[in-house]
Amino acid sequence: DSLGPTLCVGEILVEIVATTPGCGFRAPQPLIGPYPSGAPAIFMSQCGRLGGAAALVGCVGDDDFGQLNLDRLRQDGVETGAIGIDPEYPTGSAFVRYRPDGQRDFVFNLAKSAAARFGWTAGTEALCDRAGHLHVMGTALAMASAWEVIDRALPRIKARGGSVSFDPNLRKELLRDPDILPRFARMVAECDLLLPSGAELQQAAGVEDAEAAVAALLQGGVAEIALKQGEAGATVYRRDAPPVHSQAFAVEEIDPTGAGDCFGGAYVTCRRLGLPVAEALTYACAAGARNVTRRGPMEGAGTRAELDAFIAATGYRA
């Protein structure tokens, strides 16, 4: 961690959540929010709360939604100096409603919001020249502004001995964009730590079988794979060590959004702080599980003390 902060690049937004299950937003209904959100912001919030040095590159509007995000990130100890404040465009937003089957309906204002209005600046360059780790979210692969920054940040951070992690976070819409697959392949090739969820493991390797996918990725140069398995917990694979598995903690799920991002933020931070794999994995599973017990995408991210208390008080799922 002494090498410098963990950097993440991408969308910052607010989320407004329907309080009743159902389909979409074609009728008036009760809503709750705004909550600070965006996969990179959730990841960073969890890093900061665990005491890891963290800095986010992105943009918000000159409005309350933007201020809400900046306030939260600062409160969590995240550097916000490389977050722009766009004078013209509003902060990104997403309205979210859960269907009874767990599917989600969204109304997004992202691509044409402040969330996408940033790029490579002298400030970002200076930040990269003291960063020790780059975490890339799959959502950034589909965002021209984020990719521009990542494309330049990656070789700089690597050249100074920094490491790279990648959470594919693939949605099927992303795969239709012809630019995405080569970026995805590049991130798989460049990352030291891969954090796939379920079948993203096989997609990353281009192999049907999970075991063969793990072998191919480790062979290809990924040092560590932390496979997220939802309510089945998570497993870490490395080249010269047996897999390490953690069951999921038994919690009541109130809002599943952000589990994977909190898992990643906790795992990366714990590893960068020097914790062994098994301990980092326990914290990561606890971070994911604790986050789903609170409504709002990052409301349940925990500090080290909160996660210790959570682990002590919570059993594993049967």
Residue 275 burial class via C-beta count within 10 angstroms: exposed 0-12, middle 13-18, buried 19 and up: middle
Q: Which of 244, 289, 301, 307 binds ligand ATP (CB under 6 A)?
A: 289
Residue 260 is a binding residue for ligand ATP (CB under 6 A)? yes
Per-residue mark of binding to ligand ATP, 73-112 (x: CB under 6 A): ----------------------------------------
Q: Which stretch binds ligand ATP (CB under 6 A): 67-75, 106-114, 237-245, 247-255?
A: 247-255
Give yes or no for residue 292 binding ligand ATP (CB under 6 A): yes
Taking CB under 6 A as the binding criterion, the range among 177-185, 208-216, 227-235, 300-308 that sits at the site for ligand ATP is: 227-235
Question: 130 by DSSP, 3-state: which?
Answer: coil
Residues 165-204, mask of contacts with ligand ATP (x by CB under 6 A): --------------------------------x-------
Does the protein bind ligand ATP through residue 249 (CB under 6 A)? yes
Rank residues 131 and 205 by Cβ distance to ligand ATP and give the closer one. Answer: 205
288 binds ligand ATP (CB under 6 A): yes
Only one of the segments 82-90, 155-163, 244-252, 272-280 lies at the binding site for ligand ATP (rule: CB under 6 A); that segment is: 244-252
Minimum CB distance to ligand ATP smaller for 124 or for 246: 246
Among 18, 248, 266, 298, binds ligand ATP (CB under 6 A): 248
Residue type for position 78:
V
User: Which of 230, 238, 275, 314 touches ligand ATP by CB under 6 A?
Assistant: 230
Give CA angle at 196 (77, 274), nearest 5°: 45
How far apart, in whole angstroms, are the C-alpha atoms of residue 250 and residue 262?
A: 17
Mapped onto helix, strand or coil, the DSSP state of residue 225 is strand
Q: Quick one: 158 or 295, whose CB is closer to ligand ATP? A: 295
Give the three-class secondary structure for 73: helix
> Minimum Å distance from CB 295 to ligand ATP?
14
Q: Which of 287, 259, 298 is nearest to 36 (CA)?
A: 298
Return the SS3 of 67: helix
Are 214 and 225 in contact, with CB atoms under 8 Å apart?
yes
Q: Which residues fall within 8 angstroms of residue 115, CB to CB, at 6 or more apart?
A: 11, 12, 13, 38, 58, 59, 60, 91, 92
Please give the DSSP secondary-structure letter assigned to residue 316.
B
Contact stretch for ligand ATP (CB under 6 A) within 108-116, 126-134, 144-152, 222-230: 222-230
Between the alpha carbon of residue 183 and those of residues 2, 123, 192, 218, 260, the distances in Å are: 29, 24, 16, 19, 21
- Measured from the CB atom, the residue of 91 and 257 that comes closer to ligand ATP is 257
Q: What are phi and psi of 220, to 5 degrees?
A: -75, -5
Residue of the chain from 33, 40, 233, 296 that contacts ligand ATP (CB under 6 A):
233
- Give whichever of 205 and 248 is closer to ligand ATP, judged by the CB atom: 248
CB contact at 8 A, 96 and 257? yes
Look at residues 244, 240, 256 and name the one whose alpha carbon lies nearest to residue 294.
256
Restricting to residues 121-160, name those near ligand ATP by CB under 6 A.
none
Q: Which residues bind ligand ATP (CB under 6 A)?
A: 197, 228-231, 233-234, 248-249, 251, 253, 256-261, 263, 285, 288-289, 292
